[in-house]
Structure 1
Amino acid sequence: MNDCIIRGDLANVRVGRHCVIKSRSVIRPPFKKFSKGVAFFPLHIGDHVFIEEDCVVNAAQIGSYVHIGKNCVIGRRCVLKDCCKILDNTVLPPETVVPPFTVFSGCPGLFTGELPECTQELMIDVTKSYYQKFLPLSQI
Structure 2
Amino acid sequence: MDAIVQYDKSEFHETSSGIKISKKSIIKGTEQINVSGRCIFFNDVILRGDLAKVSIGKYLVVHEKVTLKPSYTYGYTKESPTKKIIKFLPLMISDYVEIESSSIIQATKIGTCTSIGKNCYISHRCIIGENSIILDDSILPPDTVVPANSVYGGRPAVYIAETPESTAIIQKQKLINFYKNFVPKS
TM category, shorter: over 0.9
After TM superposition, the structure 1 = structure 2 runs for residues 59-98 of structure 1, keeping only pairs within 5 Å, are 59-98=107-146
After TM superposition, the structure 1 = structure 2 runs for residues 105-120 of structure 1, keeping only pairs within 5 Å, are 105-120=153-168
Count matched residues: 138
Report what 1:41 is aligned to.
89
Distance in structure 2 (CA, Å) of the matches to 1:74 and 1:135:
30
Paired AA for residue 159 in structure 2? F
Cα offset for 1:30?
A: 0.9
Report what 1:32 is aligned to.
73
Report what 1:23 is aligned to.
64
> What is the aligned-residue identity percentage?
38
List gaps (5 residues or longer) in structure 2: 1-41, 76-82
Cα offset for 1:36?
A: 3.4
Distance in structure 1 (CA, Å) of the matches to 2:119 and 2:94:
20
Normalising by structure 2, what TM-score?
Answer: 0.72
Distance in structure 2 (CA, Å) of the matches to 1:10 and 1:73:
19
Cα offset for 1:135?
A: 2.8
Kindly name which structure, 1 or 2, has the bigger radius of gyration based on alpha carbons: 2
Cα deviations by residue, 1:66-114 (Å, 9 ceiling, x for unpaired): 0000000001000001100000000000000001111000000000111
Normalising by structure 1, what TM-score?
Answer: 0.95
Secondary structure of residue in 1 paired with 2:131: coil
Aligned with 1:9 (options 50, 54, 74): 50
Report what 2:4 is aligned to.
none
Paired AA for residue 49 in structure 1? V
Distance in structure 1 (CA, Å) of the matches to 2:84 and 2:164:
46
Paired AA for residue 138 in structure 2? T
